[in-house]
Amino acid sequence: MSKMGKGYGSEYHLHDQLTHDECILTTRIAQRLDVKSADVRWAETGHPEHREWKGMDFLREDKGVMAKWHEFWPQRGNPPNWDAIATVDISGTKEWLLFEAKANHPEFCSKPCGAVGSGRDKIIAALGRTKRHLGVHRDYPWEGTYYQYANRLACLFFLNVVVAIPARLVFVYFAGDCFPDGRWCPASEEEWEPLIRACHLTLGLREKHTFSGRVHEIFVPVHR
């Protein structure tokens, strides 16, 4: 998620939803997961200096999980940040919902991996493990364009496979935003869909893969 703008941008719109219309967003998520709205519970960051959760901080009380996370992903630099986190009860099992929000095309593409040295090696190894799990050929580069999307999938792999903690990714795509610099903001779900397909093709993701049932897309019109 990019820096919050005043009246525009995915961070602004998600904050607006959670502040004023949490019930609407919660309802959409509950419908997508086929659960009751009351089963979706939003988590506070617990960090007064920033709004977003970083890496696996939401599991920081579990020392065993954090030790494995340190082995899996470098701790220097900027870890994956989550725009919001919630839990949901599905058939009596607690699952984590990790949110990534987008409102325009440039932020969806994201910057390539900027790590160097041993940190970069660790990231490439983690991405490689994730690709093998998803049946993606090793020649597809995940550290370039759409690196952010790729590292979110790596986090999903870490949780569900490495430490066996049920988790899902929820991508919230805002439709109809307007940026002062004139960047393209998809106006509808129909305009978002080809961008998402391009991402999947670039990363070598098949239409159906191991995590197909754990990656969800929600399209939300912005308030004007």
CA distances from 142 to 11, 124, 139, 154, 216 (A): 25, 8, 9, 10, 20
* Adjacent-strand bridge partners of 99: 84, 170
Please count the other Cβ atoms lying within 10 Å of the Cβ belonging to residue 181.
Answer: 8
Task: Give the tens place of pLDDT for each residue, 110-166.
Answer: 889 999 999 999 999 999 999 999 999 999 999 999 999 999 999 999 999 999 999
Between 77 and 145, whose confidence is greater? Answer: 145
Task: Give the tens place of pLDDT for each residue, 11-21.
Answer: 878 877 777 76
Domain ranges of the chain: 10-221
Q: How confident is the model at residue 50 (pLDDT cuts 50, 70, 90)?
A: very low
CB within 8 Å of 117: residues ≥ 6 apart: none
Please count the other Cβ atoms lying within 10 Å of the Cβ belonging to residue 220.
Answer: 20
Token match 């089963």: residue? 39
Task: Give the tens place of pLDDT for each residue, 180-211.
Answer: 888 889 999 999 999 999 999 999 999 999 99
* Adjacent-strand bridge partners of 94: 89
Alpha helices by DSSP H, 73-146: 105-109, 117-134
Strand order in the sheet with 167-175: 40-42, 84-90, 93-102, 167-175, 215-221
Token match 């009860």: residue? 89
Between 76 and 135, whose confidence is greater? Answer: 135
d(CA 14, CA 8): 10
Token match 């219309």: residue? 21
Mean pLDDT score of the chain, rounded to an integer? 90
Q: How confident is the model at residue 5 (pLDDT cuts 50, 70, 90)?
A: low
Residue 224: the pLDDT is 58
Q: What is the pTM of this model?
A: 0.91
48 phi/psi in degrees, rounded to 5:
-65, -20
